[in-house]
Amino acid sequence: MTNYREKLWPAPWLFISTALVIPASLLVFLPININVGIGAAVVLYLGCLAALLASATKVEVTETHLIAGKARLPLDIIGAVDGFVGSEATLERGQRLDARAFLVIRGWIDPVVRVELIDPNDPVPYWLVSTRKPQEVSRAIDQARSALKN
């Protein structure tokens, strides 16, 4: 059973800003041939859209695991879970970031959740995961851990 699921889709402004590839490719290819220019613009923009959609990852909390992208973390080795927004999230992704941390962050999503690991054999001190709802992720992990103990 899934306690929480979120797909980290790109922000709308990314789809709009990648449309700048259309005039750029037209500028390059129109002097060669109008059909080639239009075709290249369409293909390049569709490629940008495909790359953006392929970069969307999921964050999921199940009964036994936290799943971020393709990585799975058992709930029994999770310590403290803290959510950060705004300038605190920026500090977590920057100045406070431990180089050993496991990252699943997306630049277009500001809030993050920091999940500490209590496994003494794991060199990774914590996971830092982008999420639009850090409080809900934290709550879902706490609920799943308490259900796991019972």
Distance in angstroms (rounded) separating the CA atoms of residues 134 and 132: 6
Digit-coded pLDDT (tens) for 21-45: 999 999 999 999 999 999 999 999 9
Tokens of 101: 């941390």
Please list the pLDDT of the chain residue by residue as tens digits (150 residues).
788 999 999 999 999 999 999 999 999 999 999 999 999 999 999 999 999 999 899 999 999 999 999 999 999 999 999 999 999 999 999 999 999 999 999 989 999 999 999 998 999 999 999 999 999 999 999 999 888 777
What pLDDT, on the 0 to 100 scale, is given for residue 148? 78
What pLDDT, on the 0 to 100 scale, is given for residue 38? 95
Tell me which amino acid residue 118 is: I
Distance in angstroms (rounded) separating the CA atoms of residues 31 and 40: 12
What pLDDT, on the 0 to 100 scale, is given for residue 82? 95
Q: Where in the chain is the domain with CATH 2.30.29?
A: 60-149
What pLDDT, on the 0 to 100 scale, is given for residue 1? 76
Of the options 2.60.40, 2.30.29, 3.40.50, 2.70.98, the CATH number for the domain spanning 60-149: 2.30.29
Q: What is the DSSP string of 52-105?
A: HHHT-EEEEEESSEEEETTEEEEGGGEEEEEEE-HHHHHHHHTTT--TT-EEE-
What pLDDT, on the 0 to 100 scale, is given for residue 149? 77
For the chain, give the number of residues.
Answer: 150
What pairing do the DSSP bridges indicate for beta strands 78-84 and 57-62? unpaired
